[in-house]
């Protein structure tokens, strides 16, 4: 009894219950025999039974094989005749995505819609959450957590990703690594490896360019946040650190490539000045000087440590143009001229500050607000501060006896406190502008606060000595303490004496103040790279801690060997010397070389990426001088300016009268009119206008997708060109060998079996050509449409449905039906004509060889006829021979040049033999007549 095919309305939900698998089905699918496949599916005993896992796996493999071979008719027959469950359709979707067949993916999705409805078609959610507990996927070729959408994203198949997302497929974000929910706990306890692989594969899909481009509203910001998240995960999961860091690098590269798609200054301004409302809270509330754009996205990139993005030429060009302001000739001027201007600002700094204090809106005042001039002013002020410290140190050394007693003049050693007070007020204003959290994110600010605290502590201790001596001398019962704090010599001071501690603090802060010069080094390329390398080396040396101290003194031979001298305990002294020697050997040789290797490695990392590191450090320096205010350098900033009094009075007046709105808009330069929405009024009154920032982001994403499509097409074109070149070489060798064989056949002294030898050589080259183009004979490229998210998509072409059509094609001499329909352009068409010509020549040459063989055989028959005395047959044979040679000559003279040929020259050996043997058989029949 035959099993009738089930109709969709007659299907029942039966999990793992199907008819028995016919053994001949796999062979029929491989041969592409759709009629046999349908016959096997209709035949059977009609009993639906419970199948074991191996037989159920065979049904999966049958469907997957049909999809991999690109035989859509066979796949449709299987889907119509067999009830596949959810997991089998899910695996078939993975195979279709893996082989990049959008049409098959669409049919499988429609099948799921038919069974369960559109609303319940979100297979991705189930795959991630329940795949850990599913034993049926253990034999699958795909890793746990790999869903159709995840796989399509990893392969950057934009059309399939768009198709899946429209069907409601999503990639759920994995929970935190420390999540203790029921799902995560069960996943870890059941199979920790599956759980970890699912997380990695999910992040591979989320971090792909296709997923970020299609699903994110702002792909660039999503790449920023995902990059930071992956960097954190690499520290929390060191087992998968290389994988996370690789994905983090992909996110950075994607953001950089999107930025590179900008075409004009308006787009650059819109992208860099706006990062969305949801990202405003991640930035500090600082504002920039009047005329300087906000650069919100660029500051966010600096906070997220996106070095590649910040070092991009577009960002650097924007920063450099803002840095120089109206001084357009500054960037192109010579170093000698820049040095001369810097010296002039250093010498005239008090005068320039006085002019700005009196008239900040004047031409000179506006010039001093330019970031590069502001930087030179602050650098000149700091150099004056270091000169003051150096002068005080020289004075203390010249008058050592006076400063070694209690009678020193505090004013001679406290002139630097004027700058310290100015620096303290400067840091307070920075905290007010940036906020406490953003302020302490910069290590230079932490160093500044520590140095200022030590300066203030040193000065406070000096003042304390004076006040304590004065008050103790006023009390009658404190004569001894009065003498100690007023008359005691330096050698009699206690270790905790306040003046000694003050001098120690002053020495340390003086040294740290000179190291603060490294902050301005990134302004110059060579010095900036050196400063970054030194910072990394210091970080390496700090890891040794106390070991480095022993290593340092051991290198100078200052190690004390008396620690192990114990004359009364010979054994203990011997063991002590051995242990001390081993420790010293390990420290001096091993750790010293390790330290050198670490320092060298750190320097090499910076040197390999010196340009990016320097530009990133310079960008942070530039941004620090774009802020509003802080124009007046130290110590002139402690003097209240008329502008400050004006702002104070205006603020009081506004609070009292309430005549002005409290909302203040930042005075940034206006973005072009299109960004303000003036050109977006084309929509109807009820349509919601898309912000210009979203329009620019979508345009950048679309350009990126189109660029990826063109790059993929070029790669495929080069690959096909290489294959055609290899085929041309093979056909050339075949032509030369056949020509040599033809000459041997005409030689009467040649012996052997030429038919067998020629067939073997021909079969060898035909098989080589088929192997060279394996995979191109059953699949064609779909025409590339101009849809917004459709790139480089390939779909399988249908094979012939009957053997008659195949035989008709075989009978055509030297013609091969084109099976690759990709748009390769005029250059590709030229290559097709060349290959067609080479193939035609090869087939004709092979035909001539066959005819030559037949001529030799007929010549022998002619001799036999001569011996029998049949002269008429000999004359007829000669006439036919002359006609055959004339026909072959005509064919050679009129070799076709416009015959169509496929990219895939993997013609079958059977086809080639039939097409070549055709003329010979006809010739043989004529001779027999």
Residue-wise pLDDT for 865-905, tens only, equals 444 445 555 556 556 666 665 554 554 444 333 433 333 33
| Structure tokens given for 99 | 């082989």
Report d(CA 781, CA 794) in Å as an integer.
5
- pLDDT of 912 reads 36
Residue-wise pLDDT for 614-626, tens only, equals 899 899 999 988 8
Are 533 and 603 in contact, with CB atoms under 8 Å apart?
Answer: yes
**% the chain with pLDDT above 70:** 66
- pLDDT of 380 reads 94
Residue-wise pLDDT for 728-741, tens only, equals 888 888 888 888 88
Other beta carbons within 10 angstroms of residue 562's beta carbon come to 5
Token pair 């352009």 is at which residue?
A: 825
**What is the chain's percent helix, strand, coil content, to nearest 5?**
70, 0, 30
Report d(CA 661, CA 652) in Å as an integer.
14
**Least confidently predicted of 226-230, 541-545, 777-781:** 777-781
Residue 199 has pLDDT above 50, yes or no: yes
Please, which residues have CB within 8 angstroms of residue 522's CB and are 6 or more apart in sequence?
Answer: 528, 531, 532, 614, 617, 618, 620, 621
Token pair 């075409």 is at which residue?
A: 263
Better-scored residue on pLDDT, 754 or 176: 176
- pLDDT of 826 reads 39
Per-residue confidence band for 843, with pLDDT thresholds at 50, 70 and 90: low
Are 74 and 63 in contact, with CB atoms under 8 Å apart?
Answer: no
Residue-wise pLDDT for 341-397, tens only, equals 999 999 999 999 999 988 888 899 889 999 999 999 999 999 999 999 999 888 888
Better-scored residue on pLDDT, 419 or 490: 419
Residue-wise pLDDT for 696-721, tens only, equals 999 999 999 998 888 888 888 888 88
Per-residue confidence band for 128, with pLDDT thresholds at 50, 70 and 90: very low
Residue 808 has pLDDT above 70, yes or no: no
Residue 744 has pLDDT above 90, yes or no: no
- pLDDT of 373 reads 92
The arithmetic mean of pLDDT across residues 209-229, rounded, is 92
Residue 230 has pLDDT above 90, yes or no: yes
Are 148 and 92 in contact, with CB atoms under 8 Å apart?
Answer: no
Please give the DSSP secondary-structure letter assigned to residue 586: I
Per-residue confidence band for 468, with pLDDT thresholds at 50, 70 and 90: confident
The winner for highest mean pLDDT among 261-265, 530-534, 816-820 is: 261-265
**Least confidently predicted of 5-9, 508-512, 761-765:** 5-9
CA torsion angle 430 431 437 440 (round to 10): 60
Q: Is 241 helix (H, G, I), strand (E, B) or coil?
A: helix
Report d(CA 684, CA 681) in Å as an integer.
8
Residue 685 has pLDDT above 60, yes or no: no
Other beta carbons within 10 angstroms of residue 185's beta carbon come to 11
Report d(CA 206, CA 161) in Å as an integer.
12
Beta bridge partners of 780: 795
Beta bridge partners of 781: 794
Better-scored residue on pLDDT, 838 or 298: 298
The arithmetic mean of pLDDT across residues 717-726, rounded, is 85
Query: C-alpha distances in angstroms, 635 versus 359, 385, 562?
Result: 18, 9, 54
Token pair 């034993």 is at which residue?
A: 135
Please give the DSSP secondary-structure letter assigned to residue 588: I
Phi then psi for 822, rounded to 5 degrees? -75, 145
User: H helices within 3-119, ranges in order?
Assistant: 25-31, 34-42, 53-68, 72-81, 86-98, 102-116
Report d(CA 54, CA 920) in Å as an integer.
52
Residue 486 has pLDDT above 70, yes or no: yes
CA 908 to chain centre: 43
Cis ω for the linkage preceding 515 (within 30 of 0)? no
Per-residue confidence band for 47, with pLDDT thresholds at 50, 70 and 90: low
**% the chain with pLDDT above 90:** 19
Residue-wise pLDDT for 314-354, tens only, equals 999 999 999 988 887 888 888 899 899 999 999 999 999 99
Report d(CA 669, CA 653) in Å as an integer.
28
Task: Annotate 322-358 with DSSP letters as a single string.
Answer: HHHTT-TTTTTS-HHHHHHHHHHHHHSHHHHHHHHHH
- pLDDT of 770 reads 52
Comparing CA positions, the residue from 610, 641, 427 lying closest to residue 528 is 610
The arithmetic mean of pLDDT across residues 212-237, rounded, is 92
Per-residue confidence band for 220, with pLDDT thresholds at 50, 70 and 90: very high
- What's the residue count for the chain? 929
The angle at the Cα of 752, spanning 746 to 757, to the nearest 5 degrees, equals 85
Report d(CA 748, CA 760) in Å as an integer.
22
- pLDDT of 811 reads 37
Other beta carbons within 10 angstroms of residue 855's beta carbon come to 20
Give 761-805 as a 3 state SS string.
Answer: HHHHHHHHHHHHCCCCCCCEECCCCCCCCCCCCEECCCCCCCHHH
Report d(CA 819, CA 799) in Å as an integer.
9
Q: Is 385 helix (H, G, I), strand (E, B) or coil?
A: helix
Radius of gyration of the chain (CA): 43
- Beta strands 17-18 and 780-781 are unpaired
Task: Annotate 796-858 with DSSP letters as a single string.
Answer: PPPPPSSHHHHHHHHHSTT----------HHHHHHHHHHHHHHHHHHHHHHHHHHHHHHHHHH
Better-scored residue on pLDDT, 598 or 857: 598
The per-residue pLDDT of the chain, averaged, comes to 73
The arithmetic mean of pLDDT across residues 411-426, rounded, is 89
The arithmetic mean of pLDDT across residues 440-463, rounded, is 90
Query: C-alpha distances in angstroms, 24 versus 45, 49, 278, 384, 418?
Result: 16, 19, 60, 93, 96
Residue 853 has pLDDT above 70, yes or no: no
Phi then psi for 275, rounded to 5 degrees? -125, 15
Full-model pTM: 0.68
Per-residue confidence band for 476, with pLDDT thresholds at 50, 70 and 90: confident
The winner for highest mean pLDDT among 31-40, 47-56, 555-564 is: 31-40
Q: Is 517 helix (H, G, I), strand (E, B) or coil?
A: helix
- pLDDT of 279 reads 60
């Amino acid at each position: 009894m035959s099993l009738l095919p089930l109709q969709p309305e007659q299907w029942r939900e039966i999990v793992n219950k199907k008819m028995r698998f016919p053994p001949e089905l796999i062979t029929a699918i491989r041969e592409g025999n759709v009629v046999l496949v349908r016959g096997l599916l209709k035949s059977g005993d009609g009993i639906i039974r419970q199948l074991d896992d191996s037989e159920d796996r065979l049904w999966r493999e049958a469907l997957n094989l049909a999809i991999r071979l690109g035989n859509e008719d066979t796949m449709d027959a299987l889907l119509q005749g067999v009830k596949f469950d959810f997991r089998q359709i899910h695996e078939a979707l993975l195979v279709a995505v893996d082989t990049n067949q959008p049409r098959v993916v669409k049919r499988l999705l429609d099948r799921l819609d038919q069974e369960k409805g559109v609303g319940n078609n979100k297979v991705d959610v189930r795959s991630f959450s329940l795949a850990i507990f599913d034993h049926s996927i253990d034999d699958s070729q795909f890793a746990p957590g790999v869903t159709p959408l995840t796989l399509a994203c990893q392969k950057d198949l934009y059309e399939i990703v768009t198709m899946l997302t429209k069907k409601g497929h999503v990639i759920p974000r994995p929970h935190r690594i420390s999540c203790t929910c029921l799902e995560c706990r069960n996943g870890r306890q059941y199979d920790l490896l599956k759980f970890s692989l699912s997380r990695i594969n999910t992040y591979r899909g989320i971090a792909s360019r296709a997923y970020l481009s299609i699903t994110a509203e702002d792909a660039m910001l999503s790449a920023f946040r995902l990059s930071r998240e992956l960097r954190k995960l690499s520290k929390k999961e060191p087992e998968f650190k290389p994988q996370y860091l690789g994905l983090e690098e992909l996110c950075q590269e994607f953001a950089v490539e999107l930025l590179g798609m900008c075409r004009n200054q308006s787009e650059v301004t819109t992208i860099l000045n706006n990062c969305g409302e949801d990202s405003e809270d991640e930035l500090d509330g600082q504002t920039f000087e009047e005329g300087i754009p906000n650069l919100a996205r660029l500051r966010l990139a600096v906070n997220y440590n996106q070095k590649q993005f910040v070092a991009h030429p577009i960002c650097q060009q924007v920063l450099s143009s803002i840095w120089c302001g109206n001084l357009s000739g500054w960037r192109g001027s010579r170093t000698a001229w820049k040095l001369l201007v810097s010296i002039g600002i250093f010498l005239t700094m008090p005068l320039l500050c006085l002019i700005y204090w009196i008239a900040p809106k004047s031409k000179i005042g506006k010039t001093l607000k330019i970031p590069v001039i502001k930087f030179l002013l602050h650098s000149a002020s700091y150099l004056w501060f270091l000169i003051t410290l150096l002068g005080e140190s020289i004075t203390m050394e010249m008058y050592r006896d006076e400063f070694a007693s209690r009678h020193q003049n505090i004013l001679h050693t406290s002139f630097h406190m004027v700058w310290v007070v100015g620096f303290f007020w400067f840091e307070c204003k920075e905290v007010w502008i940036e906020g406490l959290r953003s302020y302490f994110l910069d290590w230079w600010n932490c160093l500044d606060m520590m140095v200022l605290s030590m300066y203030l502590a040193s000065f406070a201790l000096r003042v304390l000595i004076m006040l304590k001596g004065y008050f103790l001398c006023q009390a009658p019962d404190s004569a001894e303490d009065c003498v100690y704090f007023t008359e005691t010599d330096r050698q009699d001071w206690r270790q905790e004496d306040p003046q000694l501690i003050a001098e120690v603090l002053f020495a340390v802060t003086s040294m740290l103040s000179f190291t603060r010069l490294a902050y301005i080094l990134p302004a110059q390329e060579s010095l900036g790279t050196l400063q970054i390398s030194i910072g990394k080396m210091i970080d390496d040396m700090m890891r040794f801690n106390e070991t480095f101290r022993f290593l340092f003194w051991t290198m100078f031979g200052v190690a004390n060997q008396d620690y192990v001298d114990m004359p009364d305990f010979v054994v203990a002294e011997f063991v002590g010397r051995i242990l001390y020697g081993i420790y010293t050997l390990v420290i001096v040789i091993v750790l010293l070389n390790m330290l050198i290797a670490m320092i060298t490695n750190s320097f090499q990392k910076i040197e390999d990426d010196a340009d990016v590191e320097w530009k990133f450090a310079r960008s942070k320096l530039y941004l620090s001088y774009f802020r509003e205010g802080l124009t007046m350098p130290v110590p002139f900033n402690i003097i209240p300016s008329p502008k400050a009094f004006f702002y104070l009075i205006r603020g009081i007046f506004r609070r009292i009268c309430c005549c002005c709105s409290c909302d203040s808009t930042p005075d940034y330069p206006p973005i072009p009119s299109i960004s303000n929405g003036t050109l977006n009024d084309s929509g109807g009154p009820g349509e919601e206008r898309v912000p210009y920032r979203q329009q620019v982001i979508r345009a950048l994403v679309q350009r990126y997708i189109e660029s990826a499509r063109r790059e993929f097409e070029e790669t495929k074109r080069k690959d096909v060109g290489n294959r055609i070149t290899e085929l041309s070489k093979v056909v050339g060798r075949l032509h030369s060998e056949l020509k040599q064989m033809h000459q041997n056949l005409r030689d009467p002294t040649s012996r052997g079996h030429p038919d067998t030898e020629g067939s073997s050589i021909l079969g060898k080259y035909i098989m080589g050509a088929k192997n060279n183009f394996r995979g191109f004979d059953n699949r064609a490229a779909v025409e590339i449409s101009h849809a917004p998210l459709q790139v480089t998509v390939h779909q399988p072409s249908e094979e012939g449905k009957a053997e008659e059509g195949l035989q008709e094609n075989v009978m055509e001499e030297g013609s091969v039906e084109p099976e690759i329909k990709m748009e390769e352009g005029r250059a590709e068409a030229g290559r097709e004509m060349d290959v067609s010509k080479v193939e035609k020549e090869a087939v004709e040459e092979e035909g001539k060889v066959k005819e030559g063989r037949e001529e030799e055989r007929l010549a022998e028959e002619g001799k036999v006829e001569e011996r029998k005395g049949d002269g008429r047959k000999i004359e007829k044979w000669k006439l036919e021979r002359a006609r055959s040679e004339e026909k072959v000559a005509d064919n050679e003279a009129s070799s076709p040049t416009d015959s169509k040929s496929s990219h895939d020259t993997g013609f079958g050996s059977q086809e080639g033999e039939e097409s070549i043997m055709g003329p010979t058989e006809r010739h043989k029949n004529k001779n027999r007549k």
